[in-house]
Amino acid sequence: MPTSSLYDRLVALPAPDPGIDASVPPEIIAFNVSVTRRLRSWKQSTLADMAGISLSTLERIERGEKVQPEALDRIGAAFGFEPGYYTAARRPLMPEELAEPENNP
C-alpha cells in the first residue's frame, strides 16, 4: 500500500476549530522543521547532532511521524526557539483576529 506524501497529508488536514487549544499536527511540525533546517543550509545529521537526538528520530520528525515531545523541544532549542515551540497547545486565531494588525507582523 503506497503511503501518501507529506504534502498530501498537509492538504488533507482538517481546519482547526477556532478558539479551541490544540496541539500542532505532526505534518505541520515536519514541514516547519524541514524548511527551517534547509533555510539554514543544515544537513539532517547537523541538526540531529545540535539537538542531541538520533538521525533516525529527526528523519521520523521530517516524515511527519509522532515522536516524544522531548525530541521536539530539543529541535526547537537547536533552532533557538522558545521552549514549547513545537509541543505547546495553541489556540487558532478567529477570522476577525486575523485582520488585527498585531496578529500580522
- Interval 2-28 mean pLDDT: 79
- Interval 3-21 mean pLDDT: 78
Sole residue written with cell 505541520: 28
Q: Which of 41, 16, 29, 46 has its CA nearest to residue 81?
A: 29
Note the pLDDT tens digit of each residue in 66-89: 999 999 999 999 999 999 999 998
Residues 48, 42 contacting (CB under 8 angstroms)? no
> What CATH number belongs to 20-103?
1.10.260.40
Going from N- to C-terminal start, the domains of the chain cover 20-103
pTM: 0.79
**Can you state the percent helix, strand and coil of the chain, rounding each to 5?**
50, 0, 45
